[in-house]
Amino acid sequence: MSTWNRERLLAAVAAGALLAGSVTLASPALAEPGTGGDVSVTVDIEEITEPGVLAMSIAGDSVALTEDGSTLLVRQFVGGLPTVTVTDTRAADEVPSGAAWAVLGSATDFTGAAGQEPIGAGHLGWKPRLVDGGDTGLVSEGEEVVTVLDEPTQPGNNVGLVDQELLVSTFDSGAVAGGAYSVDADLFLRTPADVAAGAYTSTLTLSLFE
């Protein structure tokens, strides 16, 4: 098992009136090749087959959560996870037998911009949604994770995004190699009604494993 890449996303929320947030995505720098020379030197070089790669990208680097669906007891702030795409350019025979990739997500506690009490990551849940899973049925989104304020909807899933929750995975990397698969998710932060007002920020880290 190795981690292929890991990206971070900032989720910010301002409890109370407005909500504003941003997600920053750190991309690796790309180097441009140099040019120049007067002498024409020719050579025939056989094309080599570049090994394919398995990579993940996120279509944004921040999301701001807005209040929607609050009740007398629970305040709820919702937003959408930018589309996450897993691209696998490997040929099927390059994939180790039995390999299966998966994207896991963990969030940090929401820290208050003005020194409010943090809101634990257990209050942030998601419901992943497959945008493009191909047509094999072998790529599927992770199950919903609800918050510590909720009753579980699957065994033990009212824990929030505290630790390595599943966003998307395949049963068999080899069977879905050579494709791109995308998923997004509804994000929801549920807090007690008496949560302190103010801006909060959390970082949601997505990791691609195989």
Kindly list the residues in this chain that would bind another protein in the complex (CB under 8 A): 1, 3, 100, 102, 104, 135-140, 142-143, 154-157, 159, 163-166, 169-172, 207, 209
Residue with tokens 């009740």: 71
4 versus 67: smaller Cβ distance to another protein: 4
If you write DSSP's letter for every residue of 82-140 in order, what string do you get?
EEEEEEE---GGGSPTT---EEEEEEPPBEETTSPPPBPGGGEEEEEEEEE--SSS-EE
User: How far apart are the C-alpha atoms of 91 and 135, rounded to whole Å?
Assistant: 18
Least distance (Å) between residue 33 CB and another protein: 36
For the CB of residue 36, give the shortest distance to another protein in the complex, in Å: 46
Q: Closest CB to another protein among 77 and 209?
A: 209
Supply the minimum distance, in Å, between the C-beta of residue 159 and another protein. Answer: 7
Residue 121 burial (C-beta neighbours within 10 Å; 0-12, 13-18, 19+)? buried
Task: Say whether 62 sits in a helix, a strand or coil.
Answer: strand
Q: Where are the alpha helices (DSSP H) in the chain?
A: 173-176
- Of 37 and 156, CB closest to another protein: 156
Name which of 144 and 184 has its Cβ closer to another protein. Answer: 144
As measured in angstroms, the least distance from the Cβ of 30 to another protein is 28
